[in-house]
Structure 1
Amino acid sequence: MPHIDYFFATLSPYAYLAGNRLEEIALKHSATITYKPFDLITGFGRTGGQPPKDRHPSRQEYRAIELPRQAKKLGMPFNLKPAFWPTNGAPSSYAIIAAQNEGGGDVGKLCQLIMQAVWVEDRDIAQDDVVRDCLAKAGFDPAVADKGLLQGADTYARNLEEAVEKGVFGAPFYILDDGQKFWGQDRLEDLEMCLDGRL
């Protein structure tokens, strides 16, 4: 059974644009997924990248064109300038880690709901009530947000170290159990082709 390590940040617009395609691919190929939210901004600094605000104006301009274009291509609602971005992505990441450990709901849906809260609904995912609402809608007990906070913080930090160690430099980033790597929501087709044995 193939396995996918999924490195992402809950504040990443490109992770939002991945939608549920990873989960659909995994279901089709009987693959398992480990969700690994990590501190992308710190990751940028350790892998030669820069946060969007520090990038050259030409890169910022292109980002402002490319994100709405990709959203339109995918038929997904998208707000280029959400009310609560950037914000603290750690609480939502801790909740995803706790939910994955607890079980009983849909982790993929939880991730999508959290990112949708940022990029569509103008909600602050650093707030407990927003995180709890996403947990409930994904089939988890909202109290999961209060469980394992120390473990969540520890796992979140370890996910960053693992990401840097494995060559992850952006989000979303997918690594198959044979070591094949894919960066970006626009590489999900390639990931599926690898699972099919076509690449």
Structure 2
Amino acid sequence: MAHIDYYLGTISPWCYLAGNRLEEIAARHGAQITYKPLDLLQLFDRTGGIRPADRHASRMEYRAQELPRWAAHLGMPLNLKPAHWPVNMAPSSYAIIAAQAAGGGDLGGLVQAILRAVWADQRDISDDAVIRDLLGASGFDPALADKGLFVGAETYGRNLEEAVQAGAFGAPFYVVRETDQRFWGQDRLDFLDRHLAQA
């Protein structure tokens, strides 16, 4: 059975645009997913990337064209300038980590709901009330938002270190453990699908 490590940032528009395609691919090939939310801005710092606020105007202008293009192509709503962005990624990341450890709900659905909250629903994912609501709607105990904060913080930091070691430098970033094949970006999911079909 293949195992996919999914490195993600909960404020990434590109993670949002991935939608549920990773989960569909994993189900089709009987693969397992481990969700590894991390501090995406620190990942940029550690691996030679540039934070959005510091990027050249040409890059940001292209981003402003490309995001709506992809959203239209995928049929997904997108607010190019969300009401709450950027925000602290830690609380929503801790919630994903706690939900993954607890089990019993739709983890992929929770990840997608958090991303959709930012990019489509104009919600503040650093707000505990929002996180509790998203946990409950995804089949998890809303109280997970308040539990395991130390473990969440520890895992969140470890995910960053593991991402650097695994060769990740952005998000979404998918690594197939058994083959060390790496796929960066929601636009590489078709290649991940093909790889798993051939494995």
- DSSP-derived class of the 1:196 partner: helix
Deviations 1:83-125 (A, max 9, x none): 0000001000000000000001011000000000000111100
What corresponds to 2:127 in structure 1? 127
What corresponds to 2:185 in structure 1? 184
What corresponds to 1:11 in structure 2? 11
What corresponds to 1:40 in structure 2? 40
What corresponds to 2:174 in structure 1? 174
- DSSP-derived class of the 2:193 partner: helix
- CA-atom RMSD in angstroms: 0.7
- DSSP-derived class of the 1:11 partner: coil
**Given residue 166 of structure 2, which amino acid in structure 1 is its aligned partner?**
K
- DSSP-derived class of the 1:10 partner: coil
What corresponds to 1:137 in structure 2? 137
The correspondence of residues 1-199 of structure 1 with structure 2, limited to 5 A, is: 1-177=1-177, 178-197=179-198
Residue 145 of structure 1, CA deviation: 1.1
Any unmatched runs of 5+ in structure 2? Answer: none
Deviations 1:3-42 (A, max 9, x none): 1000000000000000000000001111000000000101
| Equivalent-residue separation in structure 1 for 2:197 and 2:77 (angstroms) | 30
| Equivalent-residue separation in structure 2 for 1:49 and 1:123 (angstroms) | 27
**Given residue 118 of structure 2, which amino acid in structure 1 is its aligned partner?**
V
- DSSP-derived class of the 2:183 partner: strand
| Equivalent-residue separation in structure 1 for 2:75 and 2:99 (angstroms) | 29
Sequence identity percentage: 65
| Equivalent-residue separation in structure 1 for 2:75 and 2:14 (angstroms) | 14
| Equivalent-residue separation in structure 1 for 2:137 and 2:46 (angstroms) | 35
**Given residue 197 of structure 2, which amino acid in structure 1 is its aligned partner?**
D
| Equivalent-residue separation in structure 2 for 1:145 and 1:127 (angstroms) | 10
Residue 146 of structure 1, CA deviation: 1.3
- DSSP-derived class of the 2:81 partner: coil
Residue 192 of structure 1, CA deviation: 0.4
**Given residue 82 of structure 2, which amino acid in structure 1 is its aligned partner?**
P
| Equivalent-residue separation in structure 2 for 1:128 and 1:147 (angstroms) | 12
Alignment length (residue pairs): 198
Residue 159 of structure 1, CA deviation: 0.2
| Equivalent-residue separation in structure 1 for 2:166 and 2:114 (angstroms) | 26
